[in-house]
Structure 1
Amino acid sequence: MEEYSLIAGFDLGNEYSQISYFDDEKAMPVCIGKDDEEMYIPTVLGVKDTGEWLCGREALYYNELGRCKLVKDFVSLISQEQPVYLDDKVLDPSLLLVTFFKKTLFKLKEYEPNKSIRKIVVAVEKLSEKFAEYIYLALESMGIARSRVEVLSYKQSYLYYVLSHSSNIWVNDVGMFDFNKRGLKYYQITVDRQRTPHIAGIIEKDYTDSLNYEMVNDEKYRDSLGYIFENVVQNAIRRQIISTLYMIGDGFADGWAELVMKKLCGGRRVFVGRNLYVMGACLAARKYEGLGTMKDFVLIDEDMIAAHVSANVYVNAVMQEVILAKAGSIWFESDNTIDVIPDDESEIMINVTNVMTREVSRHFISLEALGLREFDRRNRIRIRVRFQSVNKCIITIKDEGFGELFPSSGRIAERIIEI
């Protein structure tokens, strides 16, 4: 009988995808694939005249033989909410993702034949609510429940990767250069250790105007690439205390930047690779399941809430603060409710605690908005907290009534709070 114990990561890239799982014996994530050809799965689909779907290198092979039509760039198009065409026909985004996941995730069985997925984190370059929903639906259709899936951006995966390692790695700021066909970007992680739990933030800089993928293959720039890149690095880390640098992406593949990297090794660690995001996704999945040794952090980027939203309520006769939205959560995935019974209280108080500034604001919603005049134990009020954007919180209160004797009026009141 299979056990639900497999922790997995999936890097869903536009050109290539990767899969990893946590190897309990090695106590680390492992990428599937015996070599680079198996490890880096071309993110392409193919359709034969018979209607049979193909995936990855098999699709490329049959396309070269003229026996299938390719569907390329579908990850990028879906993430941008653009239609994906095959000939003149628009393809269903969910169908494309289901097909790709089915034809790739089965590879996990070759490594862990007796285990089923307990948690999988899918990392994508650019996260959006709609794109994440397509991924959830695709995996749900394969029998992987939404509760066993998380979707993160590459930046968030990078945060999990770094912070899952020894604090020697992030004793100071940590930088990463990601160089691929879409350009050269720099990401820097800063950890505020003065707060408990620690707060980790990330900044992004785009250096594509200075150095791009086409220049690597252009003889005109061959002798100056190292000089250009060294200037980019010095600009990015000037006046910064960086303990570790990562260099990832196909742009560094042929070793042209090795001399610059050797110079950077003075006083700091420098790592080069192509699997950071898929490893970070696997480590994030482990953290979501409460496993591993990663410390508690509040992770903040442009998709994550920077404040706790809470309500003070009595639980078992003791006043407690109940968190309804947690700082560091992805805004469009934060949607929580609690039911409360007023005890001579005519309003609901909502607390907003900004973890960056430590400022606390309090917001009051009158129960009279629900048409209630008597605020006693004959009323049950549902409080729902969700988000319109990363800094706009929607507070909804609803009269739920109290059994058959006191039916719900169905009335609702809402307040939008700036975070």
Structure 2
Amino acid sequence: MGLAKDGEMVDVYGESFDPVALLALFIRRSLSLLNLIAPVEWLEGMMLTVDCLDGRMVEVLARIAVNLNLKTDRIFFQSHVESYYHYMLHQPEELWSQEVMLCDYDNRRLKIYGFGVNKRTTPMVAMISIDEYVEMARKGIGSGRDAGIGVGRETEKNAGIELGMETWKVVGNEEERKRLDEIFLGIVEKKCGGREVSCVYLIGDGYKDGWASRSLRYLCRGRRAFQGNNLYSKGACYGIKEKLGLDSTGGEYVFLGLDKLKANIGMHVLRQGKESYFAMMDAGANWFETKREFDIILEDGDGISLLFTPLDGKAPREVNMIMEGLKVRPGWTTRLRVAAEMVSEQQLRVMVKDMGFGEFFPASGGEWNKVFEI
């Protein structure tokens, strides 16, 4: 995936291959396993989840979706953070009645995601904080069949094994294991200190050789702890169910992740002679899926106003777009076509085209573009 994002070819025995084509081939062959249960043609939709869902990754995933040649076009993307959000909403509420902490460790760096819900707002707002710790990069990795995992009971509802206070088996360099355990213990003590953390999830290959003995004893003290590697994939399954209208669990919540629109965008308009609010875009939607096109009729003047209403408590903000050179016409005789789309999680591009007013006032062909910072 990294090579595809960087646009680098994959060299196999001296022959170069497009990484996007290879990824599409891998996914197609993986999907073929579904034929053991039902024909792939019955597939109604699919969700792809990746670590970071920036503009370049969206382009890569869109190319992969085209190369899959599926009968359905309902192929969606979401980040690991959003998969975490969907996963948590489908867990017993007592697990996330307070803050939840997800520790994702891949031997190169540790990422800690904090999950919490503000239940005092309508809809309720789910927020996920992200902290990264590069000091957890390994100097040496143990290997072999003796690499241990936590002993505990496996649960169907939760993605992994619930950890107990048992001692983990460890292999590899003893000094390095102690170093990692000491650093990790310091990090989680600081993260949990003075905060109510009800549940902790450990995911990633970095925990496999059982170095985190002291850290786990601390994490299991007074809180639930789970270890596994399928949390993101389960969250993707919950996400596609919601996209297809098969699950309404998230209906009372709005999630403001890194790849989400964090403000409502709209306009004040007149409808049937009464002033009202016209919602263009809603906060909580994926920015790369957010676009809108509509026509408006100007009362007078040569500009339009947009209203940005953030969900982070900041004051609403009104911005203006002036169409310089727009032909002057009598009131209510200028029809404009407005096309708005998010070009990043923080930027909105608005394109306005003069459509005239039927046979009375032909379209001038004028077009205007402007990018706003949300």
TM-score above 0.5, yes or no: yes
CA separation of 1:226 and 1:344: change in aligned 2, threshold 3 A: closer
Would the alpha carbon gap of residues 107 and 384 (structure 1) be closer, same or farther in structure 2, given more than 3 Å must change?
same
- Following superposition of structure 1 onto structure 2, how do residues 96-135 of structure 1 map, counting pairs within 5 Å? 96-113=22-39, 116-135=42-61
Q: Check the 8 A contact 1:394/1:416 in 2, yes or no.
A: yes
Q: In 1, are the aligned partners of 2:307 and 2:316 still within 8 Å (CA)?
A: yes
Asked if structure 2 preserves the Cα contact closer than 8 Å seen for 1:396 and 1:413, the reply is: yes
Relative to structure 2, which stretch is displaced further, 318-327 or 99-108?
318-327
Where does residue 236 of structure 1 map in the other structure? 191
SS in 2 for 1:294: helix
Does the 8 Å contact 2:256/2:262 carry over to 1? yes
Report the alpha carbon displacement of residue 376 of structure 1 after superposing the two structures with TM.
Answer: 4.2
Q: Who is 1:384 aligned against?
A: 339
User: Structure 2 residue aligned with 1:285, among 222, 240, 243?
Assistant: 240
Q: CA deviation at 1:195?
A: 1.5
The one-letter amino acid of 1:322's match is: F
CA contact (8 A) 1:178 1:247 kept: yes
> 2:260 & 2:293 partners in 1: Cα distance?
19
3-state secondary structure, aligned to 1:380 = strand
Residues 239 and 147 of structure 1, relative CA distance in 2, 3 Å threshold: farther
In structure 2, relative to structure 1, the CA distance for the partners of 1:145 and 1:307 (3 Å cut) is farther
Q: Note if contact 2:295-2:338 (Cα within 8 Å) is conserved in structure 1.
A: yes
The reply to whether residue 180 of structure 1 matches residue 134 of structure 2 is: no
> What is the aligned partner in structure 2 of residue 249 from structure 1?
204
Q: Percent identity?
A: 26
The equivalent position to 1:157 in structure 2, one of 74, 83, 87, is 83
- Say if 1:333 and 1:214 are closer, same or farther in 2 by CA, change over 3 A: farther
Consecutive unaligned residues in structure 2, runs of 5 or more: 144-171
| Pair 145,343 (structure 1): closer, same or farther in 2 beyond 3 Å | farther
Q: Which residue matches 2:321?
A: 365
- AA of the residue aligned to 2:308: V
Aligned residues: 344
Contact 2:293 2:339 in 1 (8 A): yes
Q: CA deviation at 1:279?
A: 0.5
CA distances 1:330-380 after superposition (whole Å, capped 9, x unpaired): 33332221111234465322110011024111122345x252311544432
Give, in whole Å, the separation in 2 of the partners of 1:375 and 1:166: 61
RMSD between aligned residues: 2.8
Out of 280, 298, 303, the position equivalent to 1:324 is: 280
Aligned counterpart, 1:76: 2
1:352 and 1:254 mapped to 2: Cα distance?
49
Whether the 8 Å contact between 2:269 and 2:276 is mirrored in structure 1 is: yes
Amino acid at match of 2:318: R
Other-structure match for 1:201 = 127
Preserved contact between residue 186 and residue 236 of structure 1 (Cα < 8 Å): no
Shift of 1:393: 1.9
| Structure 1 residues 235-284: Cα deviation after superposition (integer angstroms, max 9, x where no partner) | 33222221111001112224443564344223322111110111111111
1:412 positional shift: 1.5
Q: Distance in 1 between matches of 2:22 and 2:284?
A: 31
Q: Is the 8 A contact 1:183 1:213 kept in 2?
A: no
| Per-residue Cα deviation, 1:183-203 (whole angstroms, up to 9, x for no partner) | 322111232222111222222
Map 1:210-359 to 2 at 5 A.
210=136, 212=138, 214-216=140-142, 218-221=172-175, 224=178, 225-257=180-212, 260-292=215-247, 293-315=249-271, 319-344=275-300, 346-359=302-315
In 2, Cα distance between equivalents of 1:365 and 1:352? 13
Distance (Å, rounded) in 2 between the aligned partners of 1:414 and 1:139 = 30
Mapped contact 2:300–2:330 kept (Cα < 8 A):
yes
**Mean alpha-carbon deviation: is it higher for 403-412 or for 192-201?**
403-412
Distance 1:238 1:211 in 2: 24
Tell me, in whole angstroms, the C-alpha distance in 1 between the residues paired with 2:90 and 2:276. Answer: 31
Change (3 A) 1:138 1:211: closer
Distance 1:115 1:388 in 2: 33
Determine the C-alpha separation between the residues in 2 that align with 1:180 and 1:81.
23
Q: Is the 8 A contact 2:264 2:309 kept in 1?
A: yes
Per the alignment, residue 45 of structure 1 pairs with none
Q: Is the partner of 2:338 in helix, strand or coil?
A: strand
Whole-angstrom distance in 1 between the partners of 2:20 and 2:298: 44
* Structure 1 residue 403: Cα displacement: 4.3
Which residue number corresponds to residue 190 of structure 1? Answer: 116
1:148 alignment counterpart: 74
Asked if the contact 1:308/1:323 (under 8 Å) is kept, the reply is yes
Q: Which amino acid aligns with 1:288?
A: K
Unaligned runs of 5+ in 1: 1-74
Structure 1 residues 147 and 114: alpha-carbon distance in aligned structure 2, compared to 1, 3 A threshold: closer
Q: 172-181 vs 215-224, which deviates more?
A: 215-224
